[in-house]
Structure 1
Amino acid sequence: MLQPSGQIRDHAPTANSLVPGAAAIVTDDHGRVLLQRRTDSGNWSLPGGAMDIGETLQQCAVREVKEETGLDIEITGLLGIYTDPAHVIAYADGEVRQEFTVTYLARVTGGTLTVSDESTEVRFIQPTDFAHIPIHDTVRLRLHHHAEHRDTPYLG
């Protein structure tokens, strides 16, 4: 179980909610990937979050990237759909959320790189540096899939 603090437990509670979410792998002209260092766990992560009523998952990804990084993006493809029932996040209010994230590929179209209240740092990072920074396993899987340059999206 991944708690908001980023801690993993061997005995995860049973999920009691499933909330659709979107994330984006945003790359620059040098192949670096946009990551944010989360305030709650200290881990580096892809920008993304929960879908709001009245928006599509693509709109969710665009909104979340803007809110969390200050950058405007355009969706260019689909990396995959991630629904691992073993990945749950336990919140202090009693919600235990099962992962349901669609991860898109995207490019920057405008904006200014800015840190939000959800992060302590936001920057483009070389893939060769991923092994040397704290990244949750579920995000590492997405970064690995991106590095594989898959012909088809991951469905899992």
Structure 2
Amino acid sequence: MGRIDYLHDPEAPPANSVVPSVVAFLQNDAGEVLVIQRSDNGRWALPGGGHDVGESISDTVVREVWEETGIKAEVVDMSGIYTDPGHVMLYDDGEARQQFSICFRARPIGGDVRTSNETTQVRWVAPADLAELDIHPTMRLRIEHAMDRTRTAPYIG
């Protein structure tokens, strides 16, 4: 399934759904950030996905990181909540989803990097090298906020 992201674009379709979702910011001992290349739009992102009925939100983080990357994670804290109604994601099936994403900091506790049907590449990337990757502006914002350990409260916006 393909996906097109619209950000404050007057040509964006009106949203017809909202799905609570998570993304996970993980760094290894070398300070590298775990990123995925999404199979639906080819862009680089933090691993994550939709919250399922019957699981806690931290369970969603752990499940999505494992499914998309092969890395076992443990949630540390939350770095932000992102609900910009101007960010709409259009999917091939006609769903036009308004952004609702919670970003968590997590730490790797095991596993080995691998791809999935949702990822074409999975990498640990040095923070300085993130600028070279095609990352959507809203995902860059999540990464910047998660990397800023001086924040005393999570970003809410």
| TM-score normalised by the chain length of structure 1 | 0.92
C-alpha contact (below 8 Å) 1:43/1:135 kept by paired residues: yes
Tell me the distance in 2 between the aligned counterparts of 1:37 and 1:6: 15
C-alpha contact (below 8 Å) 2:4/2:90 kept by paired residues: no
2:147 paired residue number = 147
C-alpha contact (below 8 Å) 2:5/2:87 kept by paired residues: no
- What amino acid is aligned across from residue 4 of structure 1 in structure 2? R
C-alpha contact (below 8 Å) 2:5/2:89 kept by paired residues: no
Within 5 Å, which residues of 2 pair with 1:98-113? 98-113=98-113
Kindly state the Cα deviation for residue 6 of structure 1 after the two structures are TM-superposed. Answer: 5.3
Tell me the distance in 1 between the aligned counterparts of 2:95 and 2:15: 8
Tell me the distance in 1 between the aligned counterparts of 2:56 and 2:125: 28
RMSD between superposed Cα atoms in Å: 1.5
Tell me the distance in 1 between the aligned counterparts of 2:144 and 2:56: 26
Alignment partner of 1:23 is 2:19? no
C-alpha contact (below 8 Å) 1:57/1:102 kept by paired residues: no
Q: Which is worse superposed, 141-150 or 68-77?
A: 141-150
The verdict on how the C-alpha distance between 1:111 and 1:76 changes in structure 2, with shifts beyond 3 A counting, is same
User: Residue 105 of structure 1 aligns to a residue in which SS?
Assistant: strand
2:43 paired residue number = 43
- After the TM superposition, list the runs of 4 or more consecutive aligned residues in structure 1 that deviate by more than 6 angstroms: none
Consecutive unaligned residues of structure 2, counting only runs of 5 or more, are none
**Cα deviation digits, residues 76-101 of structure 1 (max 9, x gap):** 11111111111111112221110111
User: Residue 113 of structure 2 aligns to a residue in which SS?
Assistant: coil
User: Residue 117 of structure 1 aligns to a residue in which SS?
Assistant: coil
**Cα deviation digits, residues 49-89 of structure 1 (max 9, x gap):** 00111111111111000000011100011111111111111
2:34 paired residue number = 34
Within 5 Å, which residues of 2 pair with 1:109-148? 109-148=109-148
- Percent identity for Structure 1 against Structure 2: 45
2:3 paired residue number = 4
**Cα deviation digits, residues 27-60 of structure 1 (max 9, x gap):** 1111111000112222110100001111111111
Kindly state the Cα deviation for residue 147 of structure 1 after the two structures are TM-superposed. Answer: 2.7
2:57 paired residue number = 57
Tell me the distance in 1 between the aligned counterparts of 2:124 and 2:101: 21
